[in-house]
Amino acid sequence: MTNIKRGPQRPILDLSKAETELLDRLYRIDGAWTIEEALAAFGEERLAQLLRVEALEITHTEMGEMLLLLSRGRIITYGMSSGAVSLPRQVNRAYLRLSLMQLGWHFPEPGEASRHLEQFDPSKQFREVVTQYGHTLVVGKLTGNGYSTKHMMRMTQRLRSTALAENFFVIVLTSSQRKGQIHAVQHEAFFKVITVLPQISNEQLLSRFVQDTPKSATPSGPYLSGEAWKRDPQYLALPRIIQNVLQCSRDERIEQAMLSLECDGVMSTAQLQSFYALTPEDLHDLYRRETLLRTTPSQRTSETKVEFLTLSKRLSRLDDYRLGHRCGTGRMRHLMDIAPNPEVWKAEHRGTLRYEEPDAVIFEQEGAERAIEFDNGTYVMAVVGKKISTFQDRGFAEIIWGVSNPLRQRNLTREIGKYLQREILLAEWWK
């Protein structure tokens, strides 16, 4: 099948040249805006229009609520939505910008002396910044709980000799109070880790654009009762276990949802609703994280507001795409009609997600093991082939593959269907 590339698309909203330049700045330079910044740029009426046509979207970050330019906004600004910067990268760009403002630091301005330090960073992650320590190389990351200490160690190894020879500091900005601090002390001659988290007070401004909908209590009885639902294709398509759960009382559904959360680690609010007819308010001791995510990273227009639910503080701090991966794997378990039994199903059962480890394993009574792999569309075919050959070499009785969109499902079926014993599952976990 030939992929048809879409050309320039008709703008959803006509903008003036000045407004187009503002959105271009948001996207290419600033990354994300506070509500206050957006109001200063467009005014209340125009900002409301941009939100209404979904050119902009409000997303939650550790700093507070921020505005991002979505695919429709790129169509308005550039005439097309392709070539998109990742949403976490946009948030991190805003984090660096706002952190520098809070610290009183700045990028070298036109006409101001520069040491051109960015030439020493082959990764192109760092920016030259004027600080109280002189001209430095600075990088910052907010999403995914910031840079890991291991990643910071790689940074110091890569830049140590140059920083010492050229006499400049390498600085990492993070929201974490402890991460990387011991490593920074060990390399204090050229390396610093500074904790900074700009706090955005948007509540009063946000209320102009977001109306809270009243939460109604979930009824105590079964969600499905009687005989009529048995003739409805929507409910007949559900896995048998879910059909049974939806015929239970609210309290019993809560118990099953909690068991699933313990088994899978993470669930989306959409899955909680569609499989258990519950809302997050029905559950207890939850960590909730709402975010804007490309549910299929390879599709630049799949930007969706999602909410992750977990019982684990550790998991709640994972990168959005790791959480999405967990949700996709859990969706596969539901689709295969497997109960949330840790003796039968283990997600990331060796503790951490590694390249050659399946996302989950099914343990059969007779001792056989089946490998589960959720593919969100980012694997190139070489990686797909490597995973399949590795799982085969390790003696798994079956490899079960799941994907996040129908096109990927069709393409992979053609490429790897002969190595699988069942159809590739479509696990759209955000629906």
Q: Is 204 within the bounds of a domain?
A: no
Domain range enclosing 66 = 17-85
DSSP state of 3: P
Tell whether 175 and 282 lie within a shared domain. Answer: no
DSSP state of 422: S
Residue 186: pLDDT band with limits 50, 70, 90: very high
Q: What is the pLDDT of residues 231-280, one digit of tens each?
A: 899 899 899 999 999 999 999 999 999 999 999 999 999 999 999 999 99
Contacts of 414 (CB under 8 A, 6+ apart): none
CATH number at residue 47: 1.10.10
**Residue 300's pLDDT is what?**
63
Q: Is 138 within the bounds of a domain?
A: yes
Residue 210: pLDDT band with limits 50, 70, 90: low
Mean pLDDT across the chain: 88
Tell whether 296 and 172 lie within a shared domain. Answer: no
* Domain-ending residue, one of 52, 85, 118: 85
Tell whether 400 and 339 lie within a shared domain. Answer: yes
Place of tokens 């654009």: 209
Q: Is 220 within the bounds of a domain?
A: no
Tell whether 242 and 188 lie within a shared domain. Answer: no
Residue 144: pLDDT band with limits 50, 70, 90: confident
Count of C-beta atoms within a 10 Å radius of residue 262: 13
Q: Is 206 within the bounds of a domain?
A: no
pTM here?
Answer: 0.72
Q: How far is CA 39 from the centre of its chain?
A: 27
**Residue 298's pLDDT is what?**
65
Q: Which two tokens stand for residue 233?
A: 């294709």
* Domain-ending residue, one of 195, 215, 243: 195
Q: Is 3 within the bounds of a domain?
A: no
Tell whether 40 and 66 lie within a shared domain. Answer: yes
Q: What percent of the chain has pLDDT over 90?
A: 63
What total of structural domains would you count in the chain?
Answer: 3
CA pair distance 421, 197, nearest whole angstrom: 49
Which of 212 and 289 is assigned the larger pLDDT?
289
Place of tokens 């999405």: 324
Tell whether 177 and 46 lie within a shared domain. Answer: no
Tell whether 29 and 145 lie within a shared domain. Answer: no
E-strand ranges in 213-310 read 266-268, 287-294, 303-310
Tell whether 178 and 232 lie within a shared domain. Answer: no
Q: Is 111 within the bounds of a domain?
A: yes
* Domain-ending residue, one of 85, 107, 131: 85
CA pair distance 230, 243, nearest whole angstrom: 10
Q: Is 121 within the bounds of a domain?
A: yes
Biggest distance spanned by C-alpha atoms of the chain: 78
Q: Is 186 within the bounds of a domain?
A: yes
Cα atoms in the 13 Å half-sphere on the side-chain side of 238: 21
DSSP state of 245: H
Q: What is the pLDDT of residues 304-359, one digit of tens each?
A: 889 999 999 888 888 888 899 999 999 999 999 999 998 999 987 444 556 678 99
Report in angstroms the alpha-carbon separations of 147 from 143, 155, 173, 319. 9, 10, 9, 11
pLDDT at residue 213 tops 80: no
Report in angstroms the alpha-carbon separations of 394 from 404, 416, 421. 26, 18, 17
Tell whether 350 and 416 lie within a shared domain. Answer: yes
